[in-house]
Structure 1
């Protein structure tokens, strides 16, 4: 494994782990806490979070890891050694299980919530009955995908011991 690729894989493992931690916090306690706020307070807070998430650090990691993951996959398919299967799996798990789930599941839920009036009873019903359980489920999928991608990358870097 070349030096540049080793460093790219190390960066990927750390980045996947950081993203897993962010997503874990939401699945573990942030969403549960927001759902316990009475009235539309949780809705308003989540709408703010969904706007503020576009800050540079999170978005660079989240969006940047998609093409980096594809580089891992392509590089290992073309030039990989015995570690190739682990690193191909890591990249694919991130692209499908995190990035893909975000684009196809979490973002549409976020957009629907953002379009709603916070003082509406139907918004509060949507929040409790649809948004929180579905968003949290898909966020947990992202958490697992990032954690698995990180673990697979570390194993790929250590292979063979």
Structure 2
């Protein structure tokens, strides 16, 4: 079982880093760009992006990260690598609770509500819709970005605590 630890640690790192990077890109470019655009375009673009993200490329990072992190944590516990295990357990909690569950509880329902809106022709109505949506969505996205970034750091610290090969 100990031969599984390094590959599991690296897969955990890769998946969680992909998830962090996805959330981070929304923070530092996507939402700022949409906020600067015509709000009718922003609503339509966000609807399209939210519809397209449900795919086989994104699913492993989103759904796989907490699962692989938990498996890694359990393998580390079973191989008595307590120092590494503690960091991976922290990463598991951060990723699962503030990455995945927060997304499913807050961001996804906001996205689904936005998806039901017919993009109005009137720019003032569209602006009101967009600026009712965007600030709250961005706040929660920043929380999940910070959490998954912290999880990446925990994984890195856990890797440094692995027993020598």
TM-score by length of 1: 0.89
The equivalent of 1:5 in structure 2 is: 5
**1:127 matches 2:130:** yes
Unaligned runs of 5+ in 2: none
SS in 2 for 1:101: helix
Note closer, same or farther for the CA distance 1:54–1:155 as it changes in structure 2 (3 Å cut): same
Counterpart residue number, 1:30: 30
RMSD value, Cα: 2.0
Map 1:11-26 onto structure 2 (within 5 A): 11-26=11-26
| C-alpha separation in 1, matches of 2:39 and 2:126 | 10
Which residue of 1 is the match for residue 47 of structure 2? 47
1:100 aligns with 2:101: yes
Q: CA deviation at 1:31?
A: 0.5
* Cα distance per residue 1:68-94 (max 9 Å; x no partner): 223234444554422221111011110
Cα distance, 1:137 vs structure 2 = 1.0
Structure 1 gap ranges (5+): none
Q: Within 1, Cα distance between the matches of 2:6 and 2:149?
A: 19
Question: Would the alpha carbon gap of residues 160 and 5 (structure 1) be closer, same or farther in structure 2, given more than 3 Å must change?
Answer: closer
The match for 2:143 among 141, 148, 157 is 141
Distance verdict in 2 for CA 1:4–1:114, change over 3 Å:
same
In structure 2, the CA distance between the partners of 1:120 and 1:109, relative to structure 1 (3 Å rule), is farther
